[in-house]
Structure 1
């Protein structure tokens, strides 16, 4: 399965390779943004200052700004690939310098007026930061429980309350604050307010002590107390009372791309493990000669590929079928984060005592392991994604899962194809029963298959039968069974659905891959389907020929200095 070092997937924009080259070798101890410097900054619980300066010179913030406002945010999948260059060496730098501003910015692009959008774009293009001040410790992901208030005072508003555990709150030049603008309960009682800290009355703001964390040590997590801070009424994003709606729409973008960016963390974790186990001698040979070691490494490789496949299709859906993003964004967050976390933990088991050493060749692994943990609960928790998906299942079952007629556009899975502009105004709170990806499973199972792919067709035929069974169960759910107090077996329906969605995505990416591309090789699809087979336990070892093919590809990429993800692109090692 040897391939060239080019990227036929179309997922790697030229500027991603430029950033990779600019960051330089991760292994060079003299590189000021290499692993040695990254670990030293982590030990000091500081952001890597040299890294931030480099990213400022590169103009990373332009990746978060739409083209019509002077930026480079043309494709969500390209944004993901650019940011993987950071997450593969220092997730704290990826979040602390960039991704936190992206989370705030998408709310402005979604609901802001021309003046607000221009202001936010200028800040970012000047290399400044915008914070997203949603969280209150007492309420976590429950945004509707927000107690922070914005009350009318003359022609403006007064902001009162506390925002806590917010990235870059002390360092930001502006912030998007979620505030209660009406005391009544319900979805129309909150608004988003764009606050310019530079012009804010400093006597009305008090910085709270920094929150220190186990992972992402360099990220500045802070809090801010507002004491009747006056802001103009024009600071509200969109209509008053639309804050929750805007947040739920806009954050579909970041729920999709942030977990996908974190795939870069697993990429490096896998590389560290392979390098160590190739060097380690056990029973007269390298540790990688042991069947169990080979099996785990090949399985992690397969899980990284299927995580990136789901993330790539989710990102393309934002462009091609934005009205369905409420489903796919939650599915990506729920499943990709699980795959990444479980894979890193399996690598830690292989590394044994070496996984927690803070010095030596494997020292970066323990930092990456700690830094990856927030992918499961940061921004929004996996459990919250389950809660978001569950109420949509009955309508999806009735309108889409029942049979043919819901074929997805081929461009959704043809990763090399161009994409239309990202339209923030077409995001929706609910998919209204539309699910072109899972719906395409029917046509996929009935499509012509080569004789040597009969096993794949059989697996997808079983999936279609399971989708029909899932539909019959979900169609019977009553509204009282879909709330936050739903029984565990109902939340298990979400897990079943996401598993089928992921399997369908991998099969479609394989069928739409260009001939000669690694993604057109059935070995990785067989591995993905094996790894995602139903059952309460971890899947067993991959079938021998599949494991051999994946392990050979893994070693080939290691030798060539290419990434282990979908693109297989050259890295600065």
Structure 2
């Protein structure tokens, strides 16, 4: 399902993301009914922030998850990420519980649903209602093939039996996309997806299981559901019967990429909160922010945020421009960004000391964000599952792509370039060993020879990644079958880490090269490129070193300027509703 029109980046990105930001207001203002004080109170009660949900209803956030042909505003995934970052930087429970969980469910319908199913789900979301998705079962985790929940043929259609657990918004949703076994035979074609409209469930055939409590995302309601001989119309099947796993794997490419990119909003607030606290503290007779160690950590975290933004930006744009390659990029984005975000928040907690776990006071939002960011590493799909998906693809990539295919198109990196509509109908289960981002690393470095002398880090990391791709090509081409399975040793899993580093480095180099004429002079400065390349963990299990002193100073200066001007900390500046304390 596509639209013949494209959306101009010049008009697409700023206005709606800014509108959400201003609509929600300054979260630190005690008089703001949508501020941190009220968000934390809801978190203490383990409840969704009701006033926040009403505010998002008033904005019409549900329309952001619906394609325009069904009355919504979902034209660009990078724009959706920016909009949702404004929600996540305030309350991740709102981000997931109000929006992202419905988006995860709806993507399956836009990808494989019938026209009637699409219109039904669109109507629910446009009417501020929710749709949930029930993929997993506690007994089987990420092993979807092991699903026991059944929807077997019966009188008039299907009969549901079994249970699903730890499902977001289960009791609050009007419809559920369910992954079910529809054939007791083995194999990947024994499962289907179903759109279960709760209004069509006969009395006594469905019951809710007790809510699951959680330490992070406390307000998000995680529940379970059980069906017993529950009849369901045959038209509840989403797409072709037996193709449920294929549909899910296609949709994961969109949701894994965009959801972890949305989580960046938490690090933005975490970094801003830490800086705000340290700017009022005196240590060893001087302001804490004058201590070199403190500045170094803050600068490094800012570089990590920019690193995540760069890779997420390319991964999200690839969903529009290179959908046949996103079976690779989606796994890499989720694997890489989730770890960097969690590690960065942990390092900030060391600067806050005892204040990082305080649940009251001006900086109490930090402890909530530190808890809420943990699902980045396991929610929807664990980092290890992403590695397991990448590993068996390495030999084919080594033969078909790494020797040198045509580099990725320039529009993948140009922030002012148009994007075509979201290609739900062009997603594929496998990339077939084809991807072009890795080839863009050498192409980008060769096309910008000035980078060799711009900063020693660029030359050093660039050479390391180029050489490592050559080594990977030789090492992966001869991997025995046992090293491509769950029985693989740690050295084989390290190959995926090294490969993802190449993709990250290519994304960063090419973003800098293709945006040298951006109106923001920071994007034209190779210093940000040097800083983010320095933060790539080149050796598995080893933290990257601190930034060189000159990059420390440059990134810290940029952080302070953004903090004082109340602009976002990612690659593209955005005016925030939160003013600097001096403006109050």
TM-score by length of 1: 0.97
Q: Matched residue pairs, number?
A: 565
Question: Is the 2:448–2:513 Cα contact (8 Å) retained in structure 1?
Answer: no
Alpha-carbon contact 1:11-1:81 (below 8 Å) kept: no
Q: Measure the CA separation in 2 of the matches of 1:70 and 1:391.
A: 41
Alignment check: 8 A CA contact 2:192 2:241 kept: yes
Distance, in Å, in 1 between the alignment partners of 2:399 and 2:370 is 41
Structure 1 segment 403-418 matched on structure 2, within 5 A: 403=404, 405-418=405-418
Q: Distance in 1 between matches of 2:186 and 2:393?
A: 22
- Deviation readout 1:132-151 (Å, 9 max, x if unpaired): 01121111111111000011
Structure 2 counterpart of 1:464: 466
User: What pairs with 1:93-242 in structure 2 (closer than 5 Å)?
Assistant: 93-242=94-243
Cα deviation for residue 62 of structure 1 reads: 0.6
440-449 vs 213-222, greater mean Cα deviation? 440-449
Tell me if 1:569 matches 2:574.
yes
Contact 2:307–2:535 at 8 Å: present in 1 too?
Answer: no
Alignment match, 1:495: 497
SS of the equivalent of 2:279 reads: helix
Q: Is contact 1:408–1:437 with CA below 8 Å preserved after alignment?
A: yes
Counterpart of 1:560 in structure 2 is 565
Q: Deviations over 1:337-376 (max 9, x none)?
A: 1110000000001111000001112100000000111111
Between the aligned partners of 1:67 and 1:479, the Cα distance in structure 2 is 45
- 1:316-395 aligned within 5 A: 316-395=317-396
- Paired with 2:300 and 2:411, the residues of 1 have a C-alpha distance of 28
Equivalence for 2:80? 79
Asked whether the equivalents of residues 87 and 262 of structure 1 are also in contact (C-alpha less than 8 Å), the reply is yes
Work out which of the residue numbers 528, 539, 545 in structure 1 matches 2:544: 539
TM-superposition CA deviations, 1:475-516 (whole Å, max 9, x none) = 111333211221111111111111111111111111111425
Q: 2: CA distance between counterparts of 1:458 and 1:543?
A: 13
Alpha-carbon distance in structure 2 between the residues aligned to 1:74 and 1:191:
28
User: 1:452 offset after TM fit, Å?
Assistant: 3.5
Residue 30 (structure 1) shift: 1.7
Residue 336 of structure 1 and its aligned partner are, at CA, apart by: 0.7
SS at match of 2:31: coil
What secondary structure, in the 3-state scheme, does the structure 2 residue paired with 1:185 have?
coil
Check whether the contact 1:445–1:461 (CA below 8 A) recurs between aligned residues: no
| Per-residue Cα deviation, 1:198-256 (whole angstroms, up to 9, x for no partner) | 22113100011100100101001101111111111111011110000000001210000
Deviation digits for residues 48-101 of structure 1 (CA, Å, limit 9, x no counterpart)? 000101111111011111111111111110000000000001000110000000
CA distances 1:360-394 after superposition (whole Å, capped 9, x unpaired): 12100000000111111001111110111111111
CA–CA distance in 2 between the matches of 1:395 and 1:67?
38
Distance 2:455 2:45 in 1: 56
Distance in 2, Cα, partners of 1:242 & 1:297: 47
Contact 2:445 2:509 in 1 (8 A): no
- Which deviates more, 322-331 or 8-17? 8-17
Q: Partner residue of 2:313? A: 312
Q: TM-score, normalised by structure 2?
A: 0.95
Q: Compute the displacement of 1:533 (Å).
A: 5.0
Secondary structure in 2 matching 1:511: helix
Structure 1 residues 371 and 448, CA gap change in structure 2 (3 angstroms): closer
Give the structure 1 partner of residue 6 of structure 2.
Answer: none
Q: Does 1:522 align with 2:526?
A: yes
CA contact (8 A) 1:9 1:415 kept: no
- SS at 1:231's partner residue? strand
Distance 2:236 2:493 in 1: 39
SS across alignment from 1:203: coil
Q: 1:500 to 1:9 in 2, by over 3 A?
A: farther
Q: Distance in 2 between matches of 1:296 and 1:202?
A: 58
RMSD: 1.4
Residues 310-341 of structure 1: CA distance to partner in whole angstroms, max 9, x if unpaired?
Answer: 11110000000001111111111101111100
Match of 1:480 among 457, 482, 488: 482
Q: Residue 27 of structure 1 corresponds to which residue in structure 2?
A: 28
Structure 1: gaps spanning 5 or more residues: 1-7
Of 551, 555, 559, 2:556 maps to 551
8 Å CA contact 2:455, 2:527 repeated in 1: no
| Residues 1:53 and 2:54 aligned together | yes
Q: Is 1:16 matched with 2:21? A: no
Alpha-carbon offset, residue 11 of structure 1: 7.7
For 2:423 and 2:209, how far apart are their aligned partners in 1?
Answer: 37
